Amino acid sequence: MDLGIKGKTALVLGASQGIGRAIAEALAEEGANVVLVARNGEALEGLAADIAGKHGVEATPCPVDLSDPLAVTAFCTRIENEFKPDMLVNNAGGPPPSPSTGVSDEVWHNSTQMMLFSIVRVTEAALPAMKARGWGRIVAVGSSGVVQPIPNLAVSNTIRGAVAGFLKTLSAEVAGNGITVNMVLPGKIETARLGRLDSARAEREGKSLEEVRAASQAELPIKRYGQPEEFAKVAVFLLSDAASYVTGQITRVDGGLIRSI
Ligand SMILES: NC(=O)c1ccc[n+]([C@@H]2O[C@H](COP(=O)([O-])OP(=O)(O)OC[C@H]3O[C@@H](n4cnc5c(N)ncnc54)[C@H](OP(=O)(O)O)[C@@H]3O)[C@@H](O)[C@H]2O)c1
């Protein structure tokens, strides 16, 4: 299948590692140019050189801290005037694990800034170029917690629900402009973040990391963690021309983790 994104430009947030990185690489494999965003500029430089060398596309490192409102404002100016993306991948880190109460103001504010407010502003900045072309694709990386709140991830569960509401509302507003907006929910994808969450659980429960990983994988119908590349393939399809009639949807890539229909 021709995905129809060769030569188009994708802005990929949270691109230095994990799920975002896998999406950036999969887009480049399809011939798309990529703008790579995260805080670690050195990692982005290395990744950009690697992607450009391997796939013969343009790969531009763009270090930004999405929890810093001033940095995001400057970044949005670059999006509107310089990057003018055809595709946008909304993604970043996740908040630290915690129950619903006792979370500091700092964690609530920083997490909301990074995961919601920045996403709103970046999306707004990306829309004019998409509207001008009559074609655009927005995919956000969410979490299974959008459908079934995850114990001890209260901040994530809360903010991601708000992001889902924003994206669903937006999807109807821009569908007539040839722009689709979708969310993809990871279940348990093997990345540094999943490693940190498993380590925290091991410490909480007084178990070894291996015990926690084994039990966690045994709970999944598919009996294993997912790989970032498996997640990326679904995201890239939704970012492609081939997915032209899919919008406002929430797609799970979770090996069957969520049991409800
Ligand atoms: N992996 C899973 O199974 C899973 C499950 C549910 C939800 N999720 C969510 O999916 C998203 C991606 O997960 P992942 O597993 O790929 O996480 P990850 O391995 O921790 O990668 C997160 C990426 O976001 C970047 N990032 C973090 N904070 C940032 C900030 N303030 N500004 C700009 N970039 C920032 C990181 O790069 P820098 O450190 O260089 O900034 C990195 O590139 C996260 O929101 C995570 O909570 C993941």
Q: What is the DSSP string of the chain?
A: ---S-TT-EEEEES-SSHHHHHHHHHHHHTT-EEEEEES-HHHHHHHHHHHHHHH-S-EEEEE--TT-HHHHHHHHHHIIIII--SEEEE----PPPB-SSS--HHHHHHHHIIIIIHHHHHHHHHHHHHHHHT-EEEEEE--GGGTSPPTTBHHHHHHHHHHHHHHHHHHHHHGGGTEEEEEEEESSB-SHHHHHHHHHHHHHHT--HHHHHHHHHHHSTTSSPBPHHHHHHHHHHHTSGGGTT--S-EEEESTT-----
Q: Is 67 in the pocket of ligand 1 (CB under 6 A)?
A: yes
Residue 27 near residue 88 (C-beta atoms within 8 A): no
Percentage of the residues of the chain whose pLDDT score is greater than 70: 100
Q: How confident is the model at residue 143 (pLDDT cuts 50, 70, 90)?
A: very high
> What confidence score (pLDDT) does residue 139 get?
99
> What confidence score (pLDDT) does residue 224 get?
98
Residue 152 near residue 98 (C-beta atoms within 8 A): yes
> What confidence score (pLDDT) does residue 49 get?
98
> What confidence score (pLDDT) does residue 94 get?
94
Residue boundaries of the structural domains of the chain: 9-189+227-253, 191-225
176 CA → ligand 1 middle, Å: 31
Tens-digit pLDDT profile for residues 202-242: 999 999 999 999 999 999 999 999 999 999 999 999 999 99
Average pLDDT taken over every residue of the chain: 97
> What confidence score (pLDDT) does residue 153 get?
95
Q: Is 127 in the pocket of ligand 1 (CB under 6 A)?
A: no
Taking residues 176-191, what's their average pLDDT? 98
CATH (residue range 9-189+227-253): 3.40.50.720
> What confidence score (pLDDT) does residue 170 get?
99
Tens-digit pLDDT profile for residues 51-80: 999 999 999 999 999 999 999 999 999 999
pTM of the full predicted structure? 0.98
Tens-digit pLDDT profile for residues 16-41: 999 999 999 999 999 999 999 999 99
Of the listed ranges 94-98, 112-116, 176-180, the one predicted with least confidence: 94-98
CA dihedral 9, 137, 240, 8 (to 10 degrees): -20
Q: Is 93 in the pocket of ligand 1 (CB under 6 A)?
A: yes
Percentage of the residues of the chain whose pLDDT score is greater than 90: 100
252 CA → ligand 1 middle, Å: 17
> What confidence score (pLDDT) does residue 37 get?
98
The preferred substitution site among 35, 91, 184, 219 for testing ligand 1, maximizing ligand atoms within 8 Å of CB, is 91
Taking residues 162-190, what's their average pLDDT? 98
Taking residues 115-139, what's their average pLDDT? 98
Q: State the burial class of residue 72 (Cβ atoms within 10 Å of its Cβ: 0-12, 13-18, 19+).
A: buried
Q: Is 26 in the pocket of ligand 1 (CB under 6 A)?
A: no
